[in-house]
Amino acid sequence: GDSVTQMEGPVTLSEEAFLTINCTYTATGYPSLFWYVQYPGEGLQLLLKATKADDKGSNKGFEATYRKETTSFHLEKGSVQVSDSAVYFCALSDGGNKLVFGAGTILRVKS
Amino acid sequence: GAVVSQHPSRVICKSGTSVKIECRSLDFQATTMFWYRQFPKKSLMLMATSNEGSKATYEQGVEKDKFLINHASLTLSTLTVTSAHPEDSSFYICSAREAGVETQYFGPGTRLLVL
């Protein structure tokens, strides 16, 4: 079945550092890909998404490009802030009902 | 944007009692709602999918008689944990989706602690 693999965390960075969180997927069709963020004590918020190959999703300085050839959707940000500390989830949807989530990556940004 | 609320945000109950969690879509009609369970430091696991006016579809391994789901209107779904036990303690999250829209919008979650 479909699956999502994320890099294990926690990822600890200093403020203004460059962030990459790797995400790869396995799917039989052509899924849509998502990044969700969960701040401490809160539910998930959609951060960005891409629905087809070579699409780039972007929001709040974060971006991710749908790479069909490498089945990847890595999350990047050029300069992280302390307020970006959260858990980041990569997910896919095959167009049906289900979202399949990765295990989540904890990001800690220190000032 | 699309807002989903959950109530209560946290609840503590005694073993053997039942607890009801509400999930509401505040500014859109949610034809489909989803219930997830999140274990500490783990990802979300889909428990069930409910379409308005229909019976919920449960994922394999989820006891339908223990986790009762009702989706009686386009803005409200409820999850009732019946005869709760300490192992049911978890973070329960709902999400909602409009017809024809792929994106799911998530509620803030409900932390359940069963003593």
Phi/psi at B86 (5° precision): -55, -30
Q: How far apart are CA B20 and CA B1, in angstroms?
A: 27
Contact B43 A95 (CB under 8 A): no
Q: Of A34, A43, A102, which has the smallest distance from its Cβ to B107's Cβ? A: A43
The one-letter amino acid code at A47 reads L
- pLDDT of amino acid A62: 98
Tell whether the model's pLDDT for residue A8 goes beyond 90.
no
Question: Does residue A98 belong to the interface with chain B, where contact is any CB pair within 8 Å?
Answer: yes
Q: Alpha-carbon distance A94 to A23, whole Å?
A: 16
Instruction: Indicate the helix (H) or strand (E) that contains A37.
Output: strand A32-38
DSSP labels, B57-71 = EEPTT--TTTEEEEE
Mean pLDDT by 10 residues, chain B (115 residues): 90 97 94 90 86 90 94 93 96 91 88 95
Averaged pLDDT for residues A39-64: 92
Please tell me what DSSP assigns to residue B41: T
Per DSSP, the three-state class of B39 is: coil
Minimal Cβ distance to A46: which of B49, B103, B108: B103
Return d(Cα B77, Cα B68) in angstroms, integer.
10
Q: Over 80: is that where the pLDDT of A46 sits?
A: yes
Closest chain B residue to A41, measured at CA: B108
| B29 SS3 class | coil
Residue A44 has pLDDT above 90, yes or no: no
CB contact under 8 A, B43 and A102: yes
Of B34, B46, B93, the CB nearest to A43: B93
pLDDT at site B100: 82
Contact B94, B3 (CB under 8 A): no
pLDDT band at A43 (very low <50, low <70, confident <90, very high): confident
In eight-state DSSP terms, residue B53 is T
Contact assignment for A99 to B93 by CB distance below 8 Å = no
Residues A96-106 have pLDDT tens digits of: 678 899 989 99
Kindly state whether A57 is in contact with chain B, defined as any CB-CB distance less than 8 angstroms: no
Query: Distance, in angstroms, between A3 CA and closest chain B CA?
Result: 12
Q: CA angle, corner B59, sides to B42 and A66, nearest 5?
A: 60
Retrieve residue A39's tokens: 């701040």
